[in-house]
Amino acid sequence: MITPFASPPGNPRHIRWLLALPKFGIILLLTALLALLWLLHRNEIEEERAALIKDVLWLEQNLQFHLNSNEEQLQQLSMDMNTLSDSRKVFRLRAEHMLRNSPEIAQILWLSPDRKVIDALPSTAPPEQEIETFGPSSIGKAFDLALHIGKPHYSDPFFLEGNRAHVELLVPIHGEGQQISGMLALLYPLDTLLANQVPWWFTEKYKVEIIDDNEQLYAAKTRIEGNGDQRYVIPFDPPGAGLQLRVTSYRTPDNSVQRSLVAAIVLLAAGVFWSLWLVRDLMKKRSRAEEALRSEHAFRAAMEDSLTVGMRARDLQGKVVYVNPAFCKMTGFSVDELVGATPPMPYWAPEQLEESYAMHQTVLAGEAPPDGFEMTFMRKNGERFNALVYEAKLIDGNGKHTGWMASVLDITERKRAEELARQQQEQLQFTSRLVTMGEMASTLAHELNQPLAAIASYNTGCLNLLANGQAQPEDLRSALEKISTQAQRAGKIIRRVHDFVRKSEPKRAPCQLGDVIEDCIGFIEAEARKHHVRIECDTPPELPVLADRLLLEQVLLNLMRNGMEAMAGTPPAHRVLRIGIASSASELCISVSDNGCGIPPEARDKLFIAFFTTKPEGMGIGLSICRSIIEFHRGRLWTEDNPHSPTGSGTIFRFTLPLESA
């Protein structure tokens, strides 16, 4: 029977209380465990503190024992030196024995009452002559005090030998009538003292430091790095003088079963507590996740169907596991024909089967080029097309590498457009050369007329001599040699013109840069004389480069003609066109400088844009073609002001050519 005051079993309030009880229990359990963990931690800290103090006291006693032992031996040595006849021999024997048995001692000295070194081991001179002079230093004060009280005394710490801290023990030598006849000095480097007297096991747990009242560090020894959680400081006496031993403890990892058990219980309780909060929302979240998954699947399907880029996925063995509609449309094969296919693939071109299989193996090995690679694919109807393929790892939801995903682009039309653009660029370059040659035609005709006129004149003279019957072989030889020279000159001019206007495919080949510049100067020399321009060149005789000679001549001629035209308003005395070459470890830099009117700043950025020109009758394609040619040679072309121009203006065009093996 249910009373009116009892809550029904299905009451939500009753259920909330039932669910809250385990939570309260877990909270109490966690509180108890954290309190237990805190108590254990406090107990461990106290135990570590006690162990630290115990070890520090042991270390302090060990150091005192060694220092007192050395002090006693030094006192015994002072007594024996006073009683035995051969003091120097006694000093040498005992000092060698102490140095051999006490490696922490750096030097033992025998000093006179006026602070002069009588003898010393291991060297006859004290470090840096510090002990010989003393002066107002801490060593001198310690010497005076030991001399005054007649008892052993330690000096204050001082630095020698590259800022190494030392202390010195001074023991007076008493002569007859208790008069002090000398002084024995024992030198301790503090870092060597710690290195020899602090055992290795001590430095595995602690960092030992010698400091003073002002926290100045004199020496330290440890085998571990980091920040300690506990430290203990104790006076270091002897040697005293305010020195202290500071020992820092490092906590070692505690892998005890008790702590592991507590940690496991805490984690388990936290997991249970967290799970209680998640149970009530589990079904709701699962429903939302399923709805989101359906929406995501529909979204991705719509996105894949709208792509124009072909997508193809393969597993680690190379079998096709997925293709999108764009890839099927690109190749002409259906999804059923492609999914599950293994090499050779149905879209591989038979004539490139070996190359396709080699690239397939490269992709499976994870060595595909990151910037993509080109292949020739075959459609189902047998038509070939160029494809650009990008491969990336296919990672599943667990982060595991399960295959390769490829993005495939049909670049057939793009390749055709690039080839058409290349042909148009070559035609434009050829047209530019013809324009240049047309502008130079009158000057070249005049240049060619001179050797032809000379040939005709010499030929007429020879005929006259033959007609008069007065011809001598020597007279005819000189005239014929001049005819030959002028004919070679005319032929050279014609050859240059023929080579410059011929049409050919761009091809990089070994050539001498000096010969290229010489031919360009030969082309433009007549026009330079016509405009009263002097050409200077410092080209080395042997400078091989890998370049297209014809295209390189086109660049140089264009830049040289631009320089001469820029100097039209320059006084004739300053019309100098200079061609220079500078070399580095990886490239050559060729410069063409003039003393002309210069380039306005607003036009400098547009100078190499096609159809932009600063000339009233210019076409605006010369410099654009020059830059294309230099970039074809993997170089750079730029312009800058001429700082050495005597007119205060002028321009330097520079371009680089990489140094490559010819």
pLDDT of residue 592: 92
378, two tokens: 């075959």
pLDDT of residue 655: 92
- Please name the residues in contact with 326: beta carbons below 8 A apart, sequence gap of 6 or more: 307, 308, 309, 310, 311
Strand partners, 378: 384
Give the C-alpha separation, 654 to 584, whole Å: 14
Report pLDDT for 153. 85
Q: Rounded mean pLDDT of the chain?
A: 77
Round to whole Å and give the CA distance between 53 and 206. 11
Give the range among 120-129, 335-344, 541-550 with minimum mean pLDDT.
120-129
> Do residues 173 and 151 make contact, with C-beta atoms less than 8 angstroms apart?
no
pLDDT at 654: 92
Q: CA 327 to CA 329: how far, in whole Å?
A: 5
Give the integer Cα–Cα distance in Å for 487 and 453.
Answer: 10
- Mean of the pLDDT values across residues 549-566? 84
User: Are the beta carbons of 490 and 535 closer than 8 angstroms?
Assistant: no
pLDDT of residue 612: 59
Q: How far, CA to CA in Å, does 464 sit from each of 451, 452, 459, 470, 476?
A: 20, 18, 9, 9, 11
* Rounded alpha-carbon distances, angstroms, from residue 294 to 297, 311, 344, 396: 5, 22, 36, 19
Q: What is the dihedral of CA 618, 622, 623, 627, to 10 degrees?
A: 160
Q: Is the dihedral of CA 355, 356, 362, 367 positive or negative?
A: positive
Least confident of 43-57, 72-86, 504-518: 504-518
- Percent of residues, the chain, with pLDDT higher than 70: 74
pLDDT of residue 115: 81
Q: What is the pLDDT of residue 300?
A: 72
pLDDT digits (tens, 9 = 90+) for 154-189: 888 888 766 788 888 888 888 776 678 888 888 888
CA distance 168 to 266: 58
Residues 167/155, Cβ–Cβ less than 8 Å: yes
Q: 184 forms bridges with which residues in the sheet?
A: 110, 171
Check whether 443 has a pLDDT greater than 60.
Answer: no
Tokens 């002990």 label which residue? 131
pLDDT class for 102, splitting at 50, 70, 90?
Answer: confident
Between 225 and 53, residue with greater pLDDT: 53
DSSP 634: T
The answer to whether residue 358 scores a pLDDT higher than 80 is yes
What digits encode the pLDDT tens for the residues 250-300?
765 555 666 676 677 777 767 776 776 676 667 667 767 777 777 777 777
Lowest average pLDDT, out of 205-209, 243-247, 521-525, goes to 521-525
Residue 136 has pLDDT above 50, yes or no: no
Q: Which two tokens stand for residue 283?
A: 């079904």
Whole-angstrom Cα distance, residue 77 to residue 104?
18
Mapped onto helix, strand or coil, the DSSP state of residue 588 is: strand
Pairing of strands 576-583, 534-537: parallel
pLDDT at 317: 86
* Residue 603: per-residue pLDDT: 77
Highest-confidence segment of 174-183, 433-442, 477-486:
174-183
Distance (Å, whole) CA 506 – CA 555: 14
Instruction: Take residue 362 and report the two structure tokens written for it.
Output: 């490269």
45 CB neighbour count, 10 Å cutoff:
13
In the numeric block, the tokens 């006694």 are attached to 90
- 59-73, 291-305, 422-436, 577-591, range with the lowest pLDDT: 422-436
User: Which residues sit opposite 304 in a β-bridge?
Assistant: none
Beta strands in 556-636 (DSSP E): 576-583, 587-593
Q: What share of the chain in percent tops pLDDT 90? A: 2
Please state which of the ranges 14-28, 429-443, 544-558 shows the lowest mean pLDDT. 429-443
Q: Name the pLDDT band for 23 (thresholds 50, 70, 90).
A: low
Whether 444 shows a pLDDT value over 70: the answer reads: no
Compute the average pLDDT of residues 613-623. Answer: 62
pLDDT of residue 577: 92
Let me know: does 227 contact 258? Beta carbons within 8 Å.
no
| 635 close to 657: Cβ distance less than 8 angstroms | yes
* pLDDT at 7 (0 to 100): 40
pLDDT of residue 520: 81
Q: How far apart are CA 120 and CA 187, in angstroms?
A: 11
Q: Range with the lowest mean pLDDT among 302-306, 539-543, 556-560?
A: 302-306
- Residue 622: name the closest of 562, 567, 568, 563 by CA: 562
Taking residues 398-408, what's their average pLDDT? Answer: 85
Distance CA 324, CA 306 (A): 10
Residue 192 has pLDDT above 70, yes or no: yes
- Residue 447, pLDDT score: 52
Q: Which are the contacts of 427, defined by CB distance < 8 A and separation ≥ 6?
A: none
d(CA 200, CA 611) in angstroms, rounded, equals 82
- In this predicted structure, the answer to whether residue 11 has a pLDDT above a threshold of 70 is no
Q: Each residue of 373-386: pLDDT tens digit?
A: 888 888 888 888 88
* Angle between the N-to-C axes of helices 473-501 and 549-566, in degrees from 0 to 180, rounded to the nearest 10: 90
Q: Are 53 and 45 in contact (CB under 8 A)?
A: no
Q: At what angle do helices 12-83 and 257-306 cross, to 10 degrees?
A: 120
